[in-house]
Structure 1
Amino acid sequence: MRADRLVATLLLMQARGRVTAAELASELEISVATARRDLEALSTAGIPVYPERGRNGGWSLLGGSRTDLSGLTATEAQALFLLVGPAAAIAPDAKAALRKLVRALPETFRSDAEAAAEAVVIDPAGWGENDKARPVLVNDLQHAVVRRLKVQLVYGGRRGAAPTERLVSPLGLIDKDDVWYLIAGTDKGQRTFRVDRVLEATVTAEPAERPDDFDLSSAWAKVVEEMELNRSLLAATVRVQERHLWVMQDRLGRHCEVLGPPEDGWVRTRITAPTPLMIAQHLAGWGGSIEVLEPPSVQAELARLGAELVSRYDGRADTARSETVTGRGAGEKVS
């Protein structure tokens, strides 16, 4: 994990004061290019790491060859933990390294550093949505989480419903498959908000309320469990051509489960969604590359969708072929 390397890089620089990218690459068993990128990432994030040119150059911690990590400012400490905290949520070794690093910080910085490390969780398992840009509001919400400040949200309603205003205590952010979620405390209990539906977010000066036992990773696990239950109310057994399986898995994420080894170029899978129609809509575009074995309700929805398409477009294929032939020009022969 990159978080392990970043923390290890800082601890190595604390011990030596100055290192070259080549030395770092040798110590961490990575390429020189990767070591240089890690050093540049630390510097860009605001950590006091800077390059020195010349024969005896390298990368140093600001302040001398034996700078202690407690020399970080509060802002620099937050920058470090915001950088490595998300990966540490899914890497036990990185989490242990962060705990050690916290103990090296001055007491006055520890609260903010811990808050920064716990402000974001990255959940790499897909829900079938890709290529979503990071919302601009994420940085503002992340700031509010770290500073323990309430946020006034204007939240877009579903299916054309009017937006609502809510004053929330932000508890943490989750990046799941490039879709961002905010877990926050409200007057009706803990709620989860999609950040791309937040129309406005105003950070207030009012202190946020955060339960002493709150853990972002655990809270998100409960949210995922509930959402997966709602999204998996119905299952269909579907045969998929083996060469297309990876595409199906990429599109549907954990809602596409392989049931056994390939047989004659086909793979049996379990596809889940809340309703037969939703499963059929996922599968309709696959044509002859898939076969629904059960249940009959999904087969019926696919047949209905197919009949609708035939009814709307039947006959147009012949017209298109005729126009293509006509458009070849009078001088062309058609065999």
Structure 2
Amino acid sequence: MRADRLVAILLLLQQREQVTAAEVARELEVSERTARRDLDALGMAGVPVYSVQGRGGGWRLVGGARTDLSGLTAGEARALFLVAGPASAVTPTVKAALRKLVHALPEPLRAQAETASSSLVTDPQRWGSSRVEPRPPHFLDELQDAVIRGVQVRLGYVDRDGTATGRTVHPLGVVAKGPSWYLVAGTEAGRRTFRIDRVSSVGPTADPVHRPGDFDLARSWREIADEVERRRTPVEAYARCAPHGIGVLRLGFGTRLDVVGATTDGRVEVVIRGNDERKLAGELAGLVDYLEVTGPAGVLDHLAAIGTVLVERYGPERQNDHRVRRNPRRR
């Protein structure tokens, strides 16, 4: 059974006096058969859940909907909320129940559990065309622990040029971006992002993290990722696209495509980003059935040059030469 479903069912049982397999199936978007199997598995795993047979029956927690959760250890509570945080695919209702469940935890576990639920963001979109398989870096657990406990760490770090540095940082959250892992942290120079596979050492301190009151990891990461994408793709091409071609553009360019709005002739105005005018022109050249590129001048010049080469190589005269070579009797 998937861990996120287990947590979601526990939250539903905690929130309501009784649930049916049909309700669980509807909330978690699974079949009733899967919901019954998951509920049975909870009981077999030792969770105090039992079924009520007959009309109006369902599943309940022993002791009622406010079952005491004081038996959870600190590690178990943190793990529970890590799974059910923003990275998990649970419904808005369950996410709301998660906040309510925080108040059912014993006081010593409450703060860390709440922090754990917002300490991790998963961004499945890879940078560029990287196909590296994900592998959790060495210091991931230590850094996530520092985020949850809210303590500063002395961080050893090796940058992309191989320069080793050491600094004290305020860990604010961990992000999984495709196969890469990042630490978002406060520093003396402001908020910074560190690739965790470049971290060479982690030394927790006893000093508390200074966490901005309005800090939201998901929002902060969106801002960081958008800025990185802008730096990676500084060239913008402007174009008008036939409505039926928008899907093709989304498939080919992903986050590099921005849809601006409709034009007066029924087409759609778009902006497509790339890291080089010549390369971007090469990507756009095969989309003439959908796209009219309007600028900038550098991209238009490259498109014209590509068109000239294509005509020279594959134009009518060239095609006649090919036919003659293939059928020498026609000479």
Q: TM-score range by the shorter chain?
A: 0.5 to 0.7
- Whether the aligned pair in 2 keeps the contact of 1:242 and 1:267 (CA below 8 Å) is yes
CA distance 1:242–1:26, change in 2 (3 Å): closer
* Amino acid aligned to 1:203: V
How far has the Cα of 1:107 moved from its partner?
Answer: 0.8
What is the match of residue 109 of structure 2? 109
Counterpart pick for 2:144 among 142, 145, 159: 142
* Amino acid aligned to 1:146: I
* Amino acid aligned to 1:249: R
- Whether the aligned pair in 2 keeps the contact of 1:7 and 1:97 (CA below 8 Å) is no
What is the match of residue 85 of structure 1? 85
1:71-118 CA distance string (max 9 Å, x none): 322111111110111248997655533321111111110122122112
CA distance 1:115–1:16, change in 2 (3 Å): closer
CA distance 1:84–1:250, change in 2 (3 Å): farther
CA distance 1:234–1:220, change in 2 (3 Å): same
How far has the Cα of 1:38 moved from its partner?
Answer: 6.4
| Residue 155 (1) aligns with residue 192 (2) | no
What is the match of residue 211 of structure 1? 210
CA distance 1:65–1:90, change in 2 (3 Å): closer
How far has the Cα of 1:143 moved from its partner?
Answer: 3.2
Gaps of 5+ in 1: 312-316, 326-335
How far has the Cα of 1:265 moved from its partner?
Answer: 11
How far has the Cα of 1:302 moved from its partner?
Answer: 4.1
CA distance 1:41–1:52, change in 2 (3 Å): closer
CA distance 1:305–1:88, change in 2 (3 Å): same
1-side partners of 2:286 and 2:164: how far apart? 37
1:271-308 CA distance string (max 9 Å, x none): 13465356336536657665422221112244567789
- Whether the aligned pair in 1 keeps the contact of 2:135 and 2:179 (CA below 8 Å) is no
How far has the Cα of 1:134 moved from its partner?
Answer: 3.0
1-side partners of 2:4 and 2:233: how far apart? 35
2-side partners of 1:194 and 1:310: how far apart? 47
Equivalent residue runs for 1:231-250 within 5 Å: 234-239=235-240, 245-250=246-251
What is the match of residue 133 of structure 1? 133
- Whether the aligned pair in 2 keeps the contact of 1:6 and 1:84 (CA below 8 Å) is no
Q: Residue 69 of structure 1 aligns to a residue in which SS?
A: coil
TM-score (norm 1): 0.65
2-side partners of 1:109 and 1:103: how far apart? 10
Q: Residue 206 of structure 1 aligns to a residue in which SS?
A: strand
Q: Residue 294 of structure 2 aligns to a residue in which SS?
A: strand
Choose between structure 1 and 2: higher helix proportion.
1
TM-score (norm 2): 0.66
Equivalent residue runs for 1:1-335 within 5 Å: 9-14=9-14, 21=21, 24-25=24-25, 30-35=30-35, 49=47, 64=62, 66=64, 67-87=67-87, 93-123=93-123, 133-137=133-137, 138-149=140-151, 150=153, 152-157=155-160, 161-167=161-167, 168-176=169-177, 179-195=180-196, 198-207=197-206, 209-212=208-211, 213=213, 214-224=215-225, 226-227=227-228, 230=231, 234-239=235-240, 245-260=246-261, 268-273=269-274, 276-277=277-278, 279-280=280-281, 282-283=283-284, 290-303=291-304
1-side partners of 2:150 and 2:40: how far apart? 30
CA distance 1:148–1:133, change in 2 (3 Å): farther
Gaps of 5+ in 2: 313-317, 327-331
Count of paired positions? 309
